[in-house]
Amino acid sequence: MNAAEEFERHRPMLLGLAYRLLGSMWDAEDVVQDAYPRFAGAADVREPRALLVTIVTRLALDQLRSARVTREAYHGPWLPEPVDAAAFGPQETAELRDSLSYATLHLMERLSPPERAVVVLRDAFALPYPEIADIVGATVEACRQLHHRASRRLTEPGRRFRPDPAEHRRLLERLLDAAAGGDLAALSDLLAEDVVVYNDGGGKVRAAPRPVRGRAKALRFLAGLLDRWGLGDVEIVEANGEPAVRVGMADGEQIVAIGVSGGRVTALFAVLNPDKLGRV
């Protein structure tokens, strides 16, 4: 098998790796494209997959360091780009599926680039620490510490977003029913006390410039939107391997994903930036 064929065989996995590291399919595609000439030019390649993972991870780390500066200057909250999980091949393990979930990707934005790389390589791709250490250029012990520190940050405030898929969809459908009927009491019952609503308009469309935190404020915010615009045309779609909602409005559309824990909605992620809506 020549280099081009080997590369294409691994492309879906590499896209999935780069996307998990970057949260942007545009950037992931650029990284994977840049990886090919480096792979094709390598001599005496004994383990193509390992070399490709190394190349893509290092390129993504460089990209992520510069992207963090850009995201800090982003207009309003920055949210990951929703994607069709089928682009990354079959998600065969629970760890792979969890690392792709929208809520998990959003949580990973709080990690440093090395922490994010170690978590993705260890938890999603099950790489041993010595191999991870070689990829990120650190000692094995340093990688263990990075993973421990990152895992603690991801579980704050004491929960990870691992809902049962049926529960996830059921909550989403109940949320839609309550919104469609203007039933604020039902909405309140579905929202966690510390729910957060994120709106990513990217300066392209009108959106809340800051996260809306807490059940009371979230209810007022959602009630105001429903009163002014109504629910719009809604369709349940799949984003990042989980059910989400496509909302069609007179002035555009948005994808809304939810975070779920303890039988309640803990986060709403509304992506309105039209540049991020082409992958679902």
pLDDT per residue as tens, the chain (280 positions):
799 999 999 999 999 999 999 999 999 999 999 999 999 998 888 899 999 999 999 999 999 998 887 888 899 999 999 999 999 988 878 889 889 999 999 999 999 999 999 999 999 999 999 999 999 999 999 999 999 999 988 875 544 556 678 889 999 999 999 999 999 999 999 999 999 999 999 999 989 999 999 999 999 999 998 888 778 789 999 999 999 999 987 778 999 999 998 899 999 999 999 999 988 8
- Nearest to residue 113, comparing CAs of 33, 57, 168, 73? 57
Q: What is the pLDDT of residue 158?
A: 45
Strands ordered across the beta sheet of 191-200 = 212-213, 191-200, 264-271, 252-261, 242-249, 233-239
Q: What is the pLDDT of residue 217?
A: 98
Structural domains of the chain ordered from first start: 3-155 (1.20.140.160), 165-276 (3.10.450.50)
Q: What is the pLDDT of residue 147?
A: 97
Cross-strand pairs, 230: none
Q: What is the pLDDT of residue 139?
A: 98
Q: What is the pLDDT of residue 157?
A: 54
- Report the predicted TM-score, pTM, of the whole model to 2 decimal places: 0.93
Q: What is the pLDDT of residue 163?
A: 65
Query: What own/partner pairs with CB < 8 Å and gap ≥ 24 does 85-90 have?
Result: 85/238, 85/240, 85/241, 87/12, 87/15, 87/16, 87/25, 87/279, 88/12, 88/13, 88/15, 88/16, 88/19, 89/12, 89/13, 89/16
Locate 243 and state its tokens: 């059910």
Q: What is the CA radius of gyration of the chain?
A: 20
Distance separating alpha carbons of residues 61 and 22, to the nearest angstrom = 8
Locate 208 and state its tokens: 């809340």
